[in-house]
Chains A and B, each alone.
Chain A
Amino acid sequence: MTDPSVNPDTSTPRRAIDVVNASLKRRYAKERRFRLLGATAVGLGLVFVLLLFADIVGKGYTAFQQTYYRLPVTLSADLVDPEGTRDPRTLARADYMTPIRQSLRQLFPEVKDRRERRQLNSIVSVGAPQLIAEAVIANPDLIGTTSDFWILADDDIDMLVKGYIDRNAPESDRRVDDRVIGWIDRLEDEGRVAKRFNTIFFTHGTSREPELAGIAGALMGSFYTLVLALALSFPIGVGAAIYLEEFAPRNRWTDLIEVNINNLAAVPSIVFGLLGLAVFIGFFGVPRSTPLVAALVLTLMTLPTIIISSRAALKSVPPSIREAALGVGASPLQTQFHHVLPLAMPGMLTGTILGMAQALGETAPLLMIGMIAFIVDVPGGFTDPATVLPVQIFLWADSPERGFVERTSAAIMVLLAFLFLMNLAAVLLRRRFERRW
């Protein structure tokens, strides 16, 4: 194109540099556009991270506080402990709702109508009596006295106090009507309404009532599941990695195993749930919705991750270590266990922690093996029915009550905090023990 004969109409021959110079402006503009595009993509990625966290935290931080009323409650002895035995079982079964209702009636003497009274009673959570029962069992001297108790509010009132219910909306669209809002405002003016730290969220199992629902059961379920999954997958993963990396002859069989492991790492997790349902539950009769069956499924799911990272860790140990050990007369297995394994351990542990983090966040396969059962009790062992934290999140996200939205977000925050800690541990481990040979 720089051949002058191509441009017969120009009197002077055009030089290549002129052509280049003429196009430079356009090319530089293109360069800037491309660069901007790249920066936008990176920026978008960062914005998504920020949005996600802002959304979750913004929705959920209020769940760590819960609305209570400070009410003077008279625990008359003939209602709570008529026989005066102070037997914890009698105390646990006694009627504490009546004293709470009496207290409310004293505060609002003008409420006479039956329907209105029922409405007044409903501002207190159905779980409130149980909290008083716990206080009384801990301190039986409260019987026969009048003292101020923190009474748990109903979830609708909790939402009202936290400002999630629009007071200007038409009354028929609101979960709380004007009369109740008036009562709550009066209680607030008297300084009887307070938001206190939500201990129930961390100490109770799930519940149909948002104000009584907690993550303790799901956390324990996740804990049992992870402990068992770790106990199974770590030895198996490390053993398999050592064999495949150090001892296996290179033949078709080991090639097959290798391809297999790489493929298993990319199989959708829900397929592992089908496997668990058909083989572990259907064939071997492992009890449904227990940490045991969940751990078995998650072990199979995380094994490829652990094996792949363990093999990488073994690969990074220089051959001179092995040669030296063999040279002074160690057997091949002694070489591995006494010399190579300790050096590869940090890398293996990092991979295992990441695998466990993946297992902690996994939901889909656990839905297949019955972990979505509604279980109120906190599990106490590997074969108790349980649910796990991500499944609890899934279940709460499906619940229509407004109170569950903030609880779901709060549970997500707890889950993310655990994942963050695990990843931090993995990073620190790698930093601390990483060696360059």
Chain B
Amino acid sequence: MNAWTLTLFLLAVMAAAYHLGRKRAISGAGGIDRIKTLHSLPLYHGLYAALWAGIPALLLLGLWSGFQDQIITALVTASLPPESLDGLSEGRVGLLINDIRNLATGNIVSSTLTPGIQAAADQYGRLQQISSWTKWLLVLTVALGGMGLALSHTEPGMRARNRVERIVKIIMIVFSSIAILTTLGILLSVLFESLRFFHAISPLEFFLGTSWSPQIALRADQVGASGEFGAVPLFTGTLLVSAIAMLVAVPIGLMAAIYLSEYASRGVRAFAKPVIEVLAGIPTVVYGFFAALTVAPLIRELGTSVGLEVASESALAAGLVMGVMIIPFVSSLSDDVINAVPQSMRDGSYALGATQSETIRRVIVPAALPGIVGGILLAVSRAIGETMIVVMAAGLAANLTANPLDSVTTVTVQIVTLLTGDQEFDSAKTLAAFALGLTLFMATLTLNVVALTIVRKYREQYD
């Protein structure tokens, strides 16, 4: 009795509607030989009926499935005896509702059973049953009703093709707005939760504070759980790891791009370019594993052998591996812009007697510089937002340090740590993750916009 069976049912109804619509159009025209009297091909009449049967019903099904839980929860909460909710915080009510839900589905319950909760659970189950039945009934009625409506319209003169095309076009417009909706969704979700966070913690403390320990005291007398939300150590940690990554990626990526596009023979280029780009296709979790289990111990061993103190989760290990990951990103973007520099500029330089490296350094790189800078900015934005490598290879300790051998933590690591594990949805700890997410989103967005503008301007220059 779940939504998937219903979806299959709906598809069956749509197929039937298609068949009936087609049939009806043909018979309306007076047989298969006279279909020329129809305005549109029978196919379009069938599609018209199928769309009318499917779309409203699917919309209803989607909305119902999306909101059923909220409405039932609201109803059950309203039906609870008011004295049982007195003096309970929002979080406690959430726990209570969770218990009721678990009880209704036959799972283990955390608190003791009271008759009130048992009754609420029974009601919850009942409401869910009713909702499920009504959903089936309503959705199928709407589907059949839509089909009937479409079929009653079907006549030889109906402009079925035009109507179908209009519907398809509207669907495509909706599809292309999903990109906007995604951005809006991201913005609203992080903004909304961040605002709640900034009600509790002042933005000044968040952006300028230098101490980060997001533990909220469970008891008043708890030690070391003061809950400090100064995010500066996270920002510096992120910058440190990204800087190390860029120190690896930019020289290697740029030089590789120059060599492959200016010096390498066709065969070398055909082999080396795709192999280096393999690095871009490897999942980040693999890099994380490599960093944590191979590179970090290696650096630690090397460091101790020359008498340096290296943390087991050093910023250096995470940064180096992240740099390797970003090499293909820098190299393929630079490759594109270097190839876009007109040949005439190279020829001009050679004609004046410059060697190849002089041409590259004095003519090609300056000409391609805006594009290269744009590419590097995109790479920086990727390094800042990279998660798995730092989660696995950088630490959790929020140290305010510029020493690459020390352990640092980053914005993304903290988001993951705050949101996995035990959480309550409205504690400052969870909300802090959204505030960090907002900061991260804004920083990368700015970088991307600037970089894309530079790259586009540059492209126009030589087109």
Task: Write the residues of chain A forming the contact surface with B, with a CB cutoff of 8 angstroms.
Answer: 20, 27-28, 30-31, 34-35, 37-42, 44-46, 48-49, 52, 55-56, 59, 235-237, 239-240, 242-244, 247-248, 256-257, 259-264, 266-275, 277-279, 282, 284-285, 300, 303-304, 307, 331-333, 357, 360-364, 367-368, 372, 381-383, 390-391, 393-394, 397-398, 405, 408-409, 412, 415-416, 419, 423
Task: Write the residues of chain B forming the contact surface with A, with a CB cutoff of 8 angstroms.
Answer: 2, 4, 66-70, 161, 165, 168-169, 171-173, 175-180, 182-183, 185-186, 189-190, 192-193, 251-256, 258-260, 262-264, 268, 272, 275-276, 278-279, 281-290, 292-294, 324, 327-328, 331, 353, 355-358, 360-361, 378, 381-382, 384-388, 391-392, 412, 415-416, 419-420, 425, 433-434, 437, 440-441, 444-445, 448-449, 452
Bound form: Cα–Cα A51–B190 in Å = 39
Given A260-B183, A364-B391, A390-B283, 14 other A-B residues pairs in contact with their CB atoms under 8 A: A38-B259, A45-B272, A49-B275, A52-B287, A56-B286, A56-B290, A239-B176, A264-B179, A270-B387, A285-B70, A363-B285, A394-B388, A397-B392, A408-B289
Bound form: Cα–Cα A333–B345 in Å = 45
Cβ contact of A278, chosen from B176, B193, B385, B420, cutoff 8 A: B193
Contacts of B70 in A (CB 8 A): 285
Interchain residue pairs A-B with the least CB separation, the first 3: A268-B385, A38-B259, A361-B283
With A37-B255, A39-B259 known to touch, is A28 a contact of B452 (CB < 8 Å)? Answer: no
Bound form: Cα–Cα A242–B175 in Å = 10
Whether B444 contacts A266 by the Cβ 8 Å rule is yes
With A49-B275, A367-B420 known to touch, is A244 a contact of B448 (CB < 8 Å)? Answer: no
Whether B2 contacts A383 by the Cβ 8 Å rule is yes
Question: Which label, helix, strand, loop or mixed, suits the secondary structure of the A interface?
Answer: helix
CB-CB nearest in chain B for A258: B179
Whether A412 contacts B289 by the Cβ 8 Å rule is yes
Contacts of B440 in A (CB 8 A): 268, 270-271
Whether B357 contacts A243 by the Cβ 8 Å rule is no
The distance from the CB of B283 to the nearest CB of chain A, in whole angstroms, is: 3
Contacts of A415 in B (CB 8 A): 283, 286
Contacts of A40 in B (CB 8 A): 255
26 contacts between A and B (CB under 8 A): A20-B353, A35-B259, A37-B255, A38-B259, A39-B263, A40-B255, A41-B259, A42-B272, A45-B256, A48-B324, A49-B279, A236-B175, A240-B176, A257-B179, A262-B452, A264-B182, A268-B387, A270-B440, A271-B441, A278-B193, A361-B286, A367-B416, A390-B283, A393-B286, A393-B289, A409-B289
The distance from the CB of A232 to the nearest CB of chain B, in whole angstroms, is: 10
Cβ contact of A274, chosen from B189, B268, B391, cutoff 8 A: B189
Contacts of A419 in B (CB 8 A): 281-283
With A271-B385, A361-B283 known to touch, is A34 a contact of B448 (CB < 8 Å)? Answer: no
Question: Which label, helix, strand, loop or mixed, suits the secondary structure of the B interface?
Answer: helix
Bound form: Cα–Cα A271–B385 in Å = 9
CB-CB nearest in chain B for A277: B419
Whether A274 contacts B433 by the Cβ 8 Å rule is yes
Whether B178 contacts A240 by the Cβ 8 Å rule is yes
Cβ contact of B437, chosen from A270, A282, A409, cutoff 8 A: A270
The distance from the CB of A279 to the nearest CB of chain B, in whole angstroms, is: 5
Contacts of A37 in B (CB 8 A): 255
The distance from the CB of A293 to the nearest CB of chain B, in whole angstroms, is: 12
The distance from the CB of A128 to the nearest CB of chain B, in whole angstroms, is: 29
CB-CB nearest in chain A for B271: A46
Contacts of B171 in A (CB 8 A): 239
Cβ contact of B175, chosen from A52, A243, A269, A360, cutoff 8 A: A243
With A257-B179, A268-B385, A304-B179 known to touch, is A247 a contact of B327 (CB < 8 Å)? Answer: no
CB-CB nearest in chain A for B170: A243
With A30-B357, A271-B441 known to touch, is A279 a contact of B185 (CB < 8 Å)? Answer: yes
CB-CB nearest in chain B for A393: B285
Whether B392 contacts A45 by the Cβ 8 Å rule is no
Contacts of B381 in A (CB 8 A): 266, 268
CB-CB nearest in chain A for B323: A48
Contacts of A240 in B (CB 8 A): 172, 175-176, 178-179
Whether B289 contacts A42 by the Cβ 8 Å rule is no
The distance from the CB of A365 to the nearest CB of chain B, in whole angstroms, is: 9
